[in-house]
Amino acid sequence: MREKYRWDKQVDVLVVGSGFAGLTAAIEAGEAGKNVLVIEKMKTAGGNSIISDGGIAAPGTLLQEKHGLEDSQQLMYEDMLKAGLGLNHPNLLRTFVTNAGDAFQWTVDYLNVPYMDRVDLFGGHRVPRCYTPEGITGNTILKRMIRKVEDLEIPILYNTCFRRFIQDEKGSVMGCMVDREYDHKSNTGVSTYIKTNKGIILASGGYGADVKFRSIQDPRLDESIQTTNKPFATSEVLKSALEIGAASVQLSHIQLGAWASPDEPGFGHGPMFADYIVFKHGIIINPTTGQRIVNELGDRKQSADAILATGHPCVGIADHRAVTESGWDISKAIDKGVVRVFDTMEDLASFYGIDLESLSESINRYNGFANKGKDEDFGKPIFQDAKGIENPPYYAMRLWPKVHFTMGGLRINKKAQVVDFDGNVIKGLYAAGEVVGGVHGASRLASCAITECIVFGRIAGQNI
């Protein structure tokens, strides 16, 4: 019944996508002696991974131990489950936390990624467990992955777009058709048939920039909402998998970044200030009321929903001490005018049109909480090094959510095999990274995306 293909290529393993999940899977499959090929629809490697800040979260690491921090897999499991509103797939979440520490250590020992000597706490995590590579960019990790891929002599075909699966009579994936010399504008290329002896690993990322697809699941997220993703974060590979019977999981759970600025495109420079400084040491103010609106260290969904609910951008504020003591360099955000610096609170209030009296009252109230170690209004955790907003100059930025991450995706089992709605494995098909759904439930915690890519990328590469 089925046509015979003239195969142009034959490999053991084809990896679709060259972000963290794809390259990790390729490396593991290559290390296991497989003949591996990576395809990438863009002209360079890295996908969205390369524009991330590179932050990776894991519990029970040597770096935590060095900094005297206690943590456990169970604690991280609970934090992620809470942020996910209990909707995380328990088997995937358990696999995630069980392997997260090893995944991080693998980037240290095997990839030789250099990390900053600090462990950070971001919203929703109860203890500091987030590690940042030198340069504060995913590119630090990516470069080392690329080096390993080259060492293993794994080719990456750029400008090569996945088109469709080719299955045998029983539905097993036996290969695929891709377009080489892919042209984005005309959406055309040279059809090439690749036979895959062991299988295909999908690591094609999320659909955050795919307005048509994402707005089917969340109609609020039309073209008026920006995204932190690159414009090629689209759904075509995911849809191809659904077409051959893969189960979709929680496609309507789409994360908005609460730390995004409406005053710059893409991810931008503002989020470092908002996420690393304001949320821990500062406050988010509704300019209409001059009041706080949320536990700034709550999970992303809480913060983004709270900002959206005001109907307009809010203002994140931190003082000079917080900026200085954080150790983060926010000069780019200041240079671009995304973060603004004010000598007095009067100037700040005036610039954003906030009633000064209300704002001062809110700040005094927050400072009181910081001093006594208890946020009576929103229950934000107050840490030992927390201080009030007292030392000028004051730093501020407007906040308005952008689509950041798509929690939904393909259903996989613990071996990273893609399964259908009845739990049956689609033979020859694996997936890892953002294209997968279920790990994060309703909302992903900060720095857990890269961990997911590496944990499940390794599993896919080892199991295929």
Q: Which is nearer to its own copies, 89 or 269 (CB)?
A: 89
- Sequence-distant (≥ 6) Cβ neighbours of residue 301 within 8 angstroms: 83, 85, 255, 256, 442, 443
Exposure pattern of 329-361 as b/e (b: 16+ CB <10 Å)? ebeebbeeebbbebeebebbbeebebeeebbee
Q: Per rule CB under 8 A, is residue 311 in the interface with its own copies? A: no
List the one residue from 14, 36, 251, 285 that touches its own copies (CB under 8 A): 251
List the one residue from 248, 288, 289, 462 that touches its own copies (CB under 8 A): 248
Minimum Å gap between C-beta 90 and its own copies is 6
- Point out the residues that are catalytic: 300
Cα 131 from Cα 63, distance rounded (Å): 8
Rg of the chain, C-alpha, whole Å: 23
Q: Which is nearer to its own copies, 121 or 251 (CB)?
A: 251
DSSP 260-301: --TTSSSS-SHHHHIIIIIHHHSEEEETTTTEE-S-TTS-HH
List the one residue from 87, 127, 146, 152 that touches its own copies (CB under 8 A): 87
What pairs with residue 283 in β-bridges? 317
List the one residue from 213, 259, 279, 328 that touches its own copies (CB under 8 A): 213
Q: Which is nearer to its own copies, 146 or 216 (CB)?
A: 216
CB 359 within 8 A of CB 275: no
Minimum Å gap between C-beta 280 and its own copies is 27
Cα 223 from Cα 124, distance rounded (Å): 29
Question: Which span (118-126, 236-244, 273-281, 350-358) binds its own copies, by CB under 8 A?
Answer: 236-244
Size of the chain, expressed as the number of residues it contains? 464
Q: Per rule CB under 8 A, is residue 247 in the interface with its own copies? A: yes
Q: Per rule CB under 8 A, is residue 235 in the interface with its own copies? A: yes
Binding mask 27-66 for its own copies (x = CB under 8 A): ----------------------------------------
Strand locations in 184-242, DSSP E? 188-202
Minimum Å gap between C-beta 31 and its own copies is 33
Question: Which span (6-14, 117-125, 192-200, 239-247) binds its own copies, by CB under 8 A?
Answer: 239-247
Cα 164 from Cα 110, distance rounded (Å): 34
DSSP 152: T
Minimum Å gap between C-beta 21 and its own copies is 21
Cα 99 from Cα 461, distance rounded (Å): 14
> Count of alpha carbons within 13 Å of 89, Cβ hemisphere only?
19
Minimum Å gap between C-beta 251 and its own copies is 7
Minimum Å gap between C-beta 411 and its own copies is 6
DSSP H or E segment with residue 130: strand 130-131
Query: What's the N-to-C CA distance of the chain in angstroms?
Result: 28
List the one residue from 8, 31, 78, 218 that touches its own copies (CB under 8 A): 218
Question: Which span (55-63, 103-111, 126-134, 415-423) binds its own copies, by CB under 8 A?
Answer: 415-423
Q: Which is nearer to its own copies, 63 or 166 (CB)?
A: 166
Q: Residue 435's closest CA among 163, 172, 246, 184?
A: 246
Binding mask 173-212 for its own copies (x = CB under 8 A): ---------------------------------------x
Q: Per rule CB under 8 A, is residue 295 in the interface with its own copies? A: no
Q: Per rule CB under 8 A, is residue 217 in the interface with its own copies? A: yes
Question: Which span (25-33, 126-134, 171-179, 418-426) binds its own copies, by CB under 8 A?
Answer: 418-426
Q: Residue 438's closest CA among 88, 191, 73?
A: 88
Q: Per rule CB under 8 A, is residue 341 in the interface with its own copies? A: no
Within 10 angstroms of residue 12's Cβ, the number of other Cβ atoms is 18
Q: Within 32-164, where are the H helices?
A: 62-66, 73-83, 90-109, 138-151
Q: Per rule CB under 8 A, is residue 435 in the interface with its own copies? A: no
Q: Per rule CB under 8 A, is residue 423 in the interface with its own copies? A: yes
Which residues contribute to the site for its own copies (CB under 8 A)? 1, 86-90, 212-213, 216-220, 235, 239, 242-243, 245, 247-253, 408, 411, 421-423, 438, 441
